[in-house]
């Protein structure tokens, strides 16, 4: 194995028995011309490979496969979900990868290939499988971090904090994005595992089947997590509503108690002759205050007996 700065067209001839891996990390205009001038890929495939975002897909062309898959964006950290797409052109004796330079799976495998020549000797499909397998494995730490975040949210759900709803909506958005990536990615790897394409041998189909099982589990977990977040959001909203009901109940009891007291104080505050209670002028205040206290105590007793408070 040796590195080269340019691709010789003779290497692409199957009779040369050379296995070529061309890795275009953040390609410039000159680098991108390799796709058209050397490999003669279809213009639509080149346009998709150079676009900033493509969802997972697999498209067969004459003599090669064009595959788009998504890997975890490690720059966001394990507690946030974001992906970056990697484009693959898979031919009989060559593999071309196009990405933005942040694909850790490709960078790691490139280092491994420098130390072990046998990896390239396995062929481009095996190399493609190793990259895909590593990309899928990198989803696991993010899924575990998401599960921990959901567990913490479940513990806080009964607190009824309004800010908790904002965090849950953000998490649900991340899970929706995960499903939008994992569902088509599951279908793409499933097609590779079912040997729908002649480039995939029986042995490689078995390997892709194992990767497919991992992606299916990830997709199922994303659906389960989204359902859990929806349930937590409903519990949190119910807790907020219950707290509001408790506050409204207290305010209603206070308003109900003060209603007859307001009527009574209003009547005895009018500038018209009213019946006098026994005692002098100074005793009238204490009679009215006592009656108000008795009414309030009686109403509180009724509310307590009927369990209204």
Q: Which CATH number fits the domain that encloses residue 298?
A: 1.20.58
14 shares its domain with 81: yes
Residue 1 lies inside a defined structural domain of this protein:
no
Residue 2 lies inside a defined structural domain of this protein:
no
- In this prediction, residue 115 carries a pLDDT of 74
Residue 90: give the domain boundaries: 9-240
Last residue of a domain, one of 207, 240, 273: 240
**For the CA atoms of 294, 298, 300, 304, what is the dihedral angle to 10 degrees?**
150
195 shares its domain with 102: yes
The per-residue pLDDT for range 70-112, each reduced to its tens digit, is 988 755 555 566 788 899 999 888 899 998 877 778 878 887 7
- In this prediction, residue 101 carries a pLDDT of 73
184 shares its domain with 70: yes
98 shares its domain with 190: yes
- In this prediction, residue 173 carries a pLDDT of 86
> At residue 36, what are phi and psi to the nearest 5 degrees?
-95, -40
- In this prediction, residue 172 carries a pLDDT of 86
120 shares its domain with 47: yes
201 shares its domain with 170: yes
Q: What CA–CA distance (Å, rounded) separates 183 from 189?
A: 10
65 shares its domain with 204: yes
23 shares its domain with 148: yes
159 shares its domain with 285: no
Q: Which CATH number fits the domain that encloses residue 234?
A: 3.30.460.20
Residue 181 lies inside a defined structural domain of this protein:
yes
- In this prediction, residue 215 carries a pLDDT of 94
Which residues have C-beta within 8 Å of that of residue 217, sequence separation ≥ 6? none
| CB-CB contact of 88 with 69 (8 Å) | yes
Residue 3 lies inside a defined structural domain of this protein:
no
- In this prediction, residue 218 carries a pLDDT of 92
- pLDDT by residue, tens only, the chain of 309 residues: 556 666 767 677 767 777 888 888 888 888 888 888 888 899 999 888 888 778 899 999 998 999 999 988 755 555 566 788 899 999 888 899 998 877 778 878 887 777 766 777 788 899 999 999 999 998 888 888 888 888 888 888 776 666 777 888 888 888 888 888 899 999 999 999 988 898 888 889 999 999 999 999 999 999 999 898 888 888 877 777 777 777 787 778 788 887 877 777 777 676 666 677 777 777 777 777 787 888 888 888 887 777 776
Which residues have C-beta within 8 Å of that of residue 278, sequence separation ≥ 6? 287
- In this prediction, residue 89 carries a pLDDT of 94
Burial class (CB in 10 A: 0-12, 13-18, 19+), 302: exposed
| CB-CB contact of 219 with 245 (8 Å) | no
Last residue of a domain, one of 215, 240, 265: 240
Residue 56 lies inside a defined structural domain of this protein:
yes
Number of domains comprising the chain: 2
């Amino acid at each position: 194995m040796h590195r080269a700065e340019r691709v010789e067209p003779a290497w692409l001839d199957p009779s040369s028995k050379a296995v070529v891996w061309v890795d275009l990390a953040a390609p410039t205009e000159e680098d991108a011309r390799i796709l058209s001038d050397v490999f003669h890929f279809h213009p639509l495939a080149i346009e998709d490979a150079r676009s900033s975002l493509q969802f997972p897909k697999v498209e067969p062309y004459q003599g090669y496969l064009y595959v788009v898959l998504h890997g975890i964006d490690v720059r966001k950290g394990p507690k946030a979900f974001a992906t970056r797409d990697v484009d693959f052109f898979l031919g009989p004796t060559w593999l071309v990868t196009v990405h933005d330079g942040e694909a850790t799976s490709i960078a790691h495998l490139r280092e491994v290939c420098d130390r072990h020549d046998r990896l390239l000797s396995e062929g481009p499909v095996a190399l493609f499988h190793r990259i895909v397998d590593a990309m899928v494995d990198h989803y696991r730490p993010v899924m575990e971090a998401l599960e921990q975040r959901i567990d913490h949210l479940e513990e806080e759900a009964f607190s009824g904090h309004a800010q908790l709803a904002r965090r849950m909506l953000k998490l649900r958005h991340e899970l929706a994005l995960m499903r939008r990536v994992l569902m088509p990615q599951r279908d793409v790897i499933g097609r590779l595992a079912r040997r729908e394409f002649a480039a995939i041998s029986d042995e490689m189909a078995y390997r892709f089947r194992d990767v497919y099982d991992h992606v299916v589990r990830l997709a199922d977990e994303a659906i389960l997590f989204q359902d859990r977040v929806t349930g937590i959001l409903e519990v949190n909203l119910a807790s907020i509503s219950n707290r509001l009901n408790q506050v409204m109940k207290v305010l209603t009891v206070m308003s109900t108690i003060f209603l007859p007291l307001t009527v009574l104080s209003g009547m005895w505050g009018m500038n018209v002759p009213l019946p006098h209670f026994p005692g002098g002028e100074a005793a009238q205040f204490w009679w009215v205050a006592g009656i108000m206290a008795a009414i309030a105590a009686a109403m509180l007793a009724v509310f307590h007996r009927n369990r209204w408070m």
